Structure 1
Amino acid sequence: MTYGNQNSFPRRDVSLRQRFRGEEWPTLRELVAPVWRAVSGWVLVPVLFCLWPFLMFLGLYPMARSARRLARRVFTVAGPQGMTDLAVLRVQRVRARLALAAGFVVLVVYGTPEDWGGIGDQVQLRLLITPWLVLVSAPVVVGVLFRLAGPDARPAMRARVRPAVRMALQYVGACSAVPVLLWLADRVQGSVHTLLLGQVFDLLVLAVPIWVLMFVAFASPTVVRTAFTLDRAHAALPPVLTGVLVWELALTGLLFGGPPPGPLPVQLCAVLGGPAGVTAVAWWEVRRLRTRFGVSLRGTAAAVSAAG
């Protein structure tokens, strides 16, 4: 991200799609203005205000925009980022697409209506459990890498772990606040909502926990991708942690969702093939870090510093 007067206002030649992928989403006014200008806005008012989805969009979009903006500020550490290998990124994208295609083929050939209906539950389970697995697994991986690193590398690693610990505590606090706020909202609704505006009051009470939930949702991709920015402590940490997480997620999916459909050979390939492919790419990334950047699991202080 660059700073300066030229970036104070969004450029007009930037598309909405690029704005949504950038640092900050467009405002609600910027989204609604083109439609409002194309059609006489006041003519649409009585129609639009009869549509609950539109009303919910008017309320939820500004909340989502502010939650995303704050999440990107809180869960971003200033300074140079970890190393980026474009060849590894391309291979990771290809592997992910092949995995999705293979899973789709298995469902088409062997899936039942129950299997198709369980896709949403599997996705929700992964979204819910992945940040917590990162929170538990990352300290273990950091400890192993810390032991493997030489004495000269450890002070630099230790200094870069402190911001990650602070970020992890912030994330845990935000995640813990969601059920607490939902419980408080339920108590408030049960005690006083009959005295006010009924459903409108219920929505207002739920606004705070919904906003915090959005904040956690927008923070989670950064948390998972950088392991609370521990990639700056050691450049090899993301691939090593990825290799650990993929097997933990596979085991979790097997325990809670059962085996995939199909005969036993297909089930084994589906359960083991994905994690094995991710692990192979992760260790190839570790090898490229050693051969191209001189960063090994027993990295020297200079190598770790370069990664940060």
Structure 2
Amino acid sequence: MTFGGQGPYRPPWPPNGGPPPPYRPHPPNASLWQRLREDEWPPLREVLGHARRLPGCVWVPALCFVWPALFVLVMYPLARSARMKSRAVFPTRSHRGVQDPDVMRMQKIRAWIALGASLVILLAYGTSEDWQQAQDQAFFRLAVTPWLLLLTAPAVIALLFRFAPPSARPVMRARLRPAVRTVLWYFGAFTAVPILFAGVIFLSRTFQGEAAGALLSFALLLPVLWLVFFVGFASTTVVRTAFHTADVHAALPALLTGVLVWELAAVNLLMAGPPPGPPVIQLCALIGGPASVTGVAWWEIGRLRTRYGVTLRS
């Protein structure tokens, strides 16, 4: 089960399943917003250089909030460092073993349609509490999805191992080790955050009222904040790449997506209840989203089989 050579999983990179094209940095005329969307954020001096070109009417209100501005000046380098390390440990590119432009386009179309439908339902039937609940659910899904992946992925991988012929299992097992290391990296960092934060709180209470204790607590709080940024950036990556399980089997991310979306729908229903609107709208919102994601996932699996020779039993 290899990429390139005579394997059936050759990605469509030229030439003939060779290595992927090198990563090209942003163009010279890219805007600051485009650069912030890239994997590597610009240094703080470049961000301040863009800020100097802002009109004076923007700077006057900003001078009234000196402490928030200083906080941003400290947090941006910390977040940039954590983001760079997160992208090094959890790469964001090539999260699919086979890059199918039609599948990626369909996934974006489905996502925009789902977002539009959710906004229409909230505008038509939602209250202020429903809008707040929608925001809370977005953060909740980001926090709970990696844990659901951790519970779901072993079952789906075991099913694929069951379908695969004995000759393919050693290669799949070897490709599983990097995914396991990714899981250990993520959950090790995730677990370290509350432990380190509890240590900072303990030290601040132990040396309460002492200047040295306050400085020590602040110095120890910076690594905790760095780790929080690291886990936050890593969460978006591991959710998109499903802990890089495409290395094990090209169809595994689509399978995990099809299962995970129903688990998230059940969790959201238990935690927040049905969406606003009449019963018919509620039923369509509850079933339509997971069903459309599952449909796109199975369509992707079908294209893997017909266009790239990837089967669940291969």
TM-score class, shorter-chain normalisation, is: 0.7 to 0.9
TM-score in terms of structure 2 length: 0.84
Q: 1:116 to 1:13 in 2, by over 3 A?
A: closer
Q: Deviations over 1:202-259 (max 9, x none)?
A: 5544222211111011111221122211111100001100001100100010111111
Q: Deviations over 1:7-47 (max 9, x none)?
A: 7xx8743432332233311000111124447899xxx89x7
Contact 1:193–1:201 under 8 Å retained in 2: no
28-37 vs 227-236, which moves further: 28-37
Q: 1:136 to 1:72 in 2, by over 3 A?
A: same
Paired AA for residue 301 in structure 2: V
Contact 2:95–2:241 under 8 Å retained in 1: no
Quote the residue 1:15 is aligned against. Answer: 31
Q: How does 1:192-231 map to 2 (within 5 A)?
A: 192-196=207-211, 203-231=218-246
Identical residues among aligned pairs (%): 50
1:151 aligns with 2:187: no
Contact 1:259–1:271 under 8 Å retained in 2: yes
Look up the SS of the partner of 1:13 in the other structure.
Answer: coil
Q: 1:261 to 1:170 in 2, by over 3 A?
A: same
Paired AA for residue 20 in structure 1: L
Paired AA for residue 92 in structure 1: Q
Q: Deviations over 1:256-282 (max 9, x none)?
A: 111111121111111111000000000
Q: How does 1:92-103 map to 2 (within 5 A)?
A: 92-103=107-118
Quote the residue 1:83 is aligned against. Answer: 98
Look up the SS of the partner of 1:118 in the other structure.
Answer: helix
Q: Distance in 2 between matches of 1:116 and 1:83?
A: 37
Quote the residue 1:305 is aligned against. Answer: none
Structure 1 unaligned runs (5+)? 300-308
Q: Distance in 2 between matches of 1:201 and 1:32?
A: 29
Task: Indicate which of 21, 44, 51 corresponds to 1:28.
Answer: 44
Paired AA for residue 294 in structure 1: G
Quote the residue 2:261 is aligned against. Answer: 246
Quote the residue 1:165 is aligned against. Answer: 180
Structure with the higher helix share, 1 or 2: 1
Contact 1:122–1:253 under 8 Å retained in 2: yes
Q: Distance in 2 between matches of 1:288 and 1:169?
A: 32
Q: Deviations over 1:158-202 (max 9, x none)?
A: 110011111111111000011111111111121224211897765
Q: Distance in 1 between matches of 2:42 and 2:209?
A: 37
1:115 aligns with 2:130: yes
Quote the residue 1:73 is aligned against. Answer: 88
Q: 1:123 to 1:23 in 2, by over 3 A?
A: closer
Quote the residue 1:189 is aligned against. Answer: 204
Q: Distance in 1 between matches of 2:117 and 2:50?
A: 41
Paired AA for residue 256 in structure 1: M
Q: Distance in 2 between matches of 1:50 and 1:97?
A: 37
Q: Deviations over 1:143-162 (max 9, x none)?
A: 11111111222111111001
* CA shift for structure 1 position 48: 4.2
Q: 1:55 to 1:228 in 2, by over 3 A?
A: same
Q: Deviations over 1:66-108 (max 9, x none)?
A: 0010011112399996111110111111111111111111111
Q: Paired residues, what number?
A: 291
Q: Distance in 1 between matches of 2:185 and 2:251?
A: 24
Task: Indicate which of 266, 269, 276 corresponds to 2:284.
Answer: 269
Structure 2 unaligned runs (5+)? 1-20
Paired AA for residue 278 in structure 1: V
Look up the SS of the partner of 1:194 in the other structure.
Answer: coil
Paired AA for residue 212 in structure 1: L
Q: Distance in 2 between matches of 1:293 and 1:184?
A: 52
1:286 aligns with 2:280: no
Quote the residue 1:132 is aligned against. Answer: 147
Contact 2:238–2:244 under 8 Å retained in 1: yes
